[in-house]
Amino acid sequence: MSALLEVTELRLSYGPVQALRGASLTARAGEVIGIVGESGCGKSTLASALIGLPAPGATLSGELRIRGEDMITTTEARRRELRGDRVAMIFQDPMSAFNPVLTLGQQLVDFQHRANVSRAEKLARARAMLASVGIPDPELVLRRYMHELSGGMRQRAAIAAALMMQPDLLIADEPTTALDVTMEAQIIHLFRELRQQYQGSIVIVTHHLGVVGELCDRVYVMYAGEVVEEGTTDEIYHNARHPYARALIACDPAHIQGPVARLPTIPGRLPDLTAPPAGCAFASRCPQAAPGCAHPVPRVRLSESHAVLCHQVTP
Ligand SMILES: Nc1ncnc2c1ncn2[C@@H]1O[C@H](COP(=O)(O)OP(=O)(O)OP(=O)(O)O)[C@@H](O)[C@H]1O
Ligand SMILES: [Mg+2]
């Protein structure tokens, strides 16, 4: 089966800042993909490119195909069409998807502007969608403004809004980061239910590995604008090979046994993305770095699904 989403060697720069440096990924229909990595590694940049909305002034190259159609070389008008039809995004801040002066009901109706049905039918669909994302009193919530809803309800409403568009591809950028632990667990549960019925692909961007373990089939680990390791969730959790991916997992609270005074972090910081190194971008922080790491890094394939960008890994 061909991939629903195919990203090849995607590059994106904000002026001199090379935020994406040749990232490639695929997602098949029905798959849930996780994108992980520490702050600043390019996750949101990738998400914004996937939805065809890079920041103004950003330069983009490479290939980004959704059901075979290239989002980069197409016209802005067609991109806008694809955005409504095929791709929808759930943002970290659910308020950003909504207009504060319209009720949720008005907006959920507007989001269906392409559907050729009556307003009453659109409202009925909106009500059903709110119920399906676990909003207890949809009739009442349709008449509410966003600021009148709790954080968890807002995130549910944002998920409902994205699903109203019946996208093939659903992108969620840090969908649980703004929530407390209880709400987070509820939203994870909602995504789990969603994936039972949803036919499209879901891409979840997060720096929370727990979310990935609970939801994703496959994971892409990003570092300094590159995918440094990809594999099934199992391969990444239990057999990560890139020193950065291993460090990320070692720092995950769920992997730490017993009480600790302070959570471990990865020492050092991301390289300057205006002048990234020609070789491995993690070398300056890597416990296994060797002189050879200054050379361009080979992509080592370990299984059909597992690949890693590292000089020190042998198949
Ligand atoms: N609109 C922008 N203009 C200029 N630079 C930007 C812009 N957006 C992001 N960047 C830079 O691009 C790099 C990648 O940022 P991005 O927001 O994609 O990271 P991230 O992985 O989503 O981080 P976080 O986990 O903090 O959300 C960073 O160096 C960031 O400062
Ligand atoms: Mg981000």
Per-residue pLDDT tens digits for 211-240? 888 899 999 999 999 999 999 999 999 999
At 263 the pLDDT is: 66
At 274 the pLDDT is: 97
Ligand in closest contact with the CA of 23: 1
- Report helix, strand or coil for 100: coil
What percent of the chain is helix, strand and coil (3-state, nearest 5)? 35, 20, 40
Kindly report the average pLDDT of the chain as a whole number. 91
**What's the CA-to-centroid distance between 225 and ligand 1, angstroms?**
10
Above 80 in pLDDT, residue 264? no
Task: Give 199: exposed, middle or buried? Use CB within 10 Å, 0-12, 13-18, 19+.
Answer: exposed
> For the chain, what's the residue count?
315
Ligand in closest contact with the CA of 91: 2
Pocket of ligand 1 contains residue 49 by CB under 6 Å = no
Q: Give the pLDDT mean for 282-286.
A: 96
Q: Give the pLDDT mean for 174-200.
A: 84
**What's the CA-to-centroid distance between 49 and ligand 1, angstroms?**
12
Pocket of ligand 1 contains residue 178 by CB under 6 Å = no
Above 80 in pLDDT, residue 257? no
Pocket of ligand 1 contains residue 44 by CB under 6 Å = yes
Confidence of residue 181 (pLDDT cuts 50, 70, 90): confident
* Helix runs in the chain, H state only: 43-50, 76-85, 104-110, 119-132, 138-141, 151-164, 181-197, 209-215, 233-239, 243-250
Above 60 in pLDDT, residue 62? yes
Task: Give 77: exposed, middle or buried? Use CB within 10 Å, 0-12, 13-18, 19+.
Answer: exposed
Ligand 1 atom showing the smallest separation from residue 41 Cα: 21
Protein residue with its CA nearest to atom 28 in ligand 1: 40
At 186 the pLDDT is: 85
At 256 the pLDDT is: 66
Pocket of ligand 1 contains residue 155 by CB under 6 Å = no
At 142 the pLDDT is: 96
Above 90 in pLDDT, residue 298? yes
Pocket of ligand 1 contains residue 53 by CB under 6 Å = no
- Here the tokens at position 2 are 């061909």
Output 293 or 261, whichever has higher pLDDT.
Answer: 293
Q: How many CB atoms lie within 10 A of CB 254?
A: 11
Range with the poorest average pLDDT among 12-16, 29-33, 180-184, 211-215? 180-184
- Report helix, strand or coil for 177: coil
Pocket of ligand 1 contains residue 45 by CB under 6 Å = yes
Q: Give the pLDDT mean for 266-282.
A: 94
At 260 the pLDDT is: 67
- The rounded distance, in Å, linking the Cα atoms of 119 and 116 is 9
Ligand 1 atom showing the smallest separation from residue 270 Cα: 29
- The rounded distance, in Å, linking the Cα atoms of 252 and 205 is 16
Angle (deg, nearest 10), helices 119-132 and 151-164: 130
- Here the tokens at position 40 are 């600043």
Pocket of ligand 1 contains residue 19 by CB under 6 Å = yes
Protein residue with its CA nearest to atom 31 in ligand 1: 40
Range with the poorest average pLDDT among 174-183, 197-206, 216-225? 174-183
* Cβ partners under 8 Å of residue 85, min gap 6: 114, 165, 167, 168
Ligand 1 atom showing the smallest separation from residue 225 Cα: 14
Confidence of residue 247 (pLDDT cuts 50, 70, 90): very high
What are the chain's domains?
Answer: 5-86+168-278 (3.40.50.300), 97-166 (no CATH)
At 1 the pLDDT is: 52
Q: Are 155 and 187 in contact (CB under 8 A)?
A: yes
Range with the poorest average pLDDT among 6-10, 178-182, 242-246, 289-293? 178-182
